[in-house]
Amino acid sequence: MLTNAEIKQIRSLREKKFRDALGLFVVEGEKMVREALESSFEVVRVCRVEEEGEKAMEKMSQFSTPSPVLAVVRKPALEWAGTDIPAGLSLALDSVRDPGNMGTIIRTADWFGVGMVFASPDSVDIFNPKVIQSTMGAVFRCRFVQADIPATCRRFREAGLPVYGTFLDGADIYSEKLQDNGLIVMGNESNGISDATAAEVSHRLFIPKAEGSRAESLNVAVATAVTLSIFKATAGSSR
């Protein structure tokens, strides 16, 4: 049985400042806990309702409806030395703030085999409970680092690799010759890719909408899925 102090500590992991200070985060649900146990992450503790009781689980849960099981997991290092450029495609997230978007993007990156996901320091914390849950376990499989996005773009370009970005004034993505390696930049939900990052993009792309559509833009998670799908289907092919 957990002590009140231990329950209070686990409950505190709802907040980023305590996750950062303790180097821990929480996952909930049988699937997520199983994913954590099968991953390379260090699982510090597993708590089950039959052992701790419903009231304790309610106090520790980070959601309105507590799960019958949760795990406390140690956070991995998020630094990138800049020397090991991943093979294939990588993603760079420039100020993605919404937890649901971040989680969905990580899940999508895992689906399409993205080598690494870079996120700017002002992006939402990947260990935010809503981000963790919406990744559906992809957080344990997708390599994720925090990095200066303009500097990361420059590092890829110095390595002779393309840096793609999505813009409303970009070239039709369906008509461009795409490579199956390099970096794809996705921007903030409201403002898109920042000026500093845009200056480092070598290939500006646009996802065209249907004729007559009055939609102003795509949700960043949806745009990421569409972009990765197009790259998967066409990159490296002769057209």
Check which CATH number belongs to the domain holding 68 and give it: 3.30.1330.30
Tell me what percent of the chain is helix, strand and coil, each rounded to the nearest 5. Answer: 35, 20, 45
Average pLDDT over residues 6-11: 96
Tens of pLDDT, residue by residue over 79-131, are 887 778 888 999 999 999 999 999 999 999 999 999 899 999 999 999 999 99
Per-residue confidence (pLDDT) for residue 130, from 0 to 100: 94
Flag whether pLDDT at 42 surpasses 90.
yes
Q: Which two tokens stand for residue 23?
A: 């180097």
Name the DSSP letter for residue 34: H
Same domain? For 38 and 118 the reply is no
Same domain? For 120 and 22 the reply is no
Same domain? For 34 and 138 the reply is no
Report the mean per-residue pLDDT for the chain. 93
Which CATH number do you get for residue 199?
A: 3.40.1280.10
Whether 141 is covered by a domain: the verdict is yes
Flag whether pLDDT at 24 surpasses 90.
yes
Per-residue confidence (pLDDT) for residue 239, from 0 to 100: 43
Phi, psi of 41 (to 5 degrees): -70, 150
Per-residue confidence (pLDDT) for residue 79, from 0 to 100: 80
Same domain? For 54 and 140 the reply is no
Strand 24-28's sheet: what is its strand order? 24-28, 69-74, 43-48
Whether 215 is covered by a domain: the verdict is yes
| Domain region containing 46 | 4-74
Tens of pLDDT, residue by residue over 43-63, are 999 999 999 999 999 999 988
Whether 138 is covered by a domain: the verdict is yes
Cβ-count burial 181-217 (b if 16+ within 10 Å, e if not)? bbbbbbbbeeebbbeebbebbebbbbbeeeeeeeeee
Average pLDDT over residues 141-156: 95
Tens of pLDDT, residue by residue over 181-205, are 999 999 999 999 999 999 999 999 9
Whether 83 is covered by a domain: the verdict is no
Flag whether pLDDT at 71 surpasses 70.
yes
Average pLDDT over residues 137-142: 94
Same domain? For 215 and 101 the reply is yes
pTM: predicted TM-score of the whole model, two decimal places: 0.92
Same domain? For 99 and 206 the reply is yes
The total number of structural domains in the chain stands at 2
What is the C-alpha separation between 101 and 145, in angstroms, rounded? Answer: 17
Same domain? For 150 and 101 the reply is yes
Flag whether pLDDT at 235 surpasses 80.
no
Flag whether pLDDT at 17 surpasses 70.
yes
Percent of the chain past pLDDT 70, that is, above it, reads 98
Flag whether pLDDT at 37 surpasses 90.
yes
Q: Is 97 in contact with 188 (CB distance < 8 Å)? A: yes
Whether 159 is covered by a domain: the verdict is yes
